[in-house]
Amino acid sequence: MTAPYYLSRGYEAQVQLKEPISAEFIERNKQLGQWINENILIRLYGILNYHGLFRRIDQDLPGGREMDLLRRMRNAFTKTPLNYHPNDKENIRLRKEVIRCFGLKEKNSRKSRFQLQSIQ
């Protein structure tokens, strides 16, 4: 079933599998999706950083806030275990800023992971 984000933009797709979906299959796909989401941000940061775009981030310019969040998410994903840390003030602050900036819904984000999905 297509995610609401894509449905609202006119895209709809379905995948039909030969076998019934098991709980293990669902969890493995969630883990894979999480890794892909995190990995693309790490790679995007690497490309932009290579071209010198992170030397100075001016948050007053269009995209400046997003650049700062990308830098901070890259640090969170590469320098710490990727699980959500409920006692880490910076992790909590970053998570809330990402949810607020990109219009994510807190209820759709599992507390055990730093979710980057459910854009509405």
The mean pLDDT value for 19-31 works out to 90
Rounded to two decimals, the pTM is 0.63
Residue indicated by tokens 């941000």? 41
Domain boundaries, the chain: 4-108
For the stretch 42-64, pLDDT in tens is 899 999 999 988 888 888 889 88
**Beta-carbon neighbour count of residue 94 at 10 Å?**
17
Count of CA atoms in the C-beta half-sphere (13 A) of 54: 16
Q: How is the chain split among helix, strand and coil, in percent rounded to 5?
A: 55, 5, 45
Residue 119's pLDDT is 42
* Paired tokens of 86: 């409920």
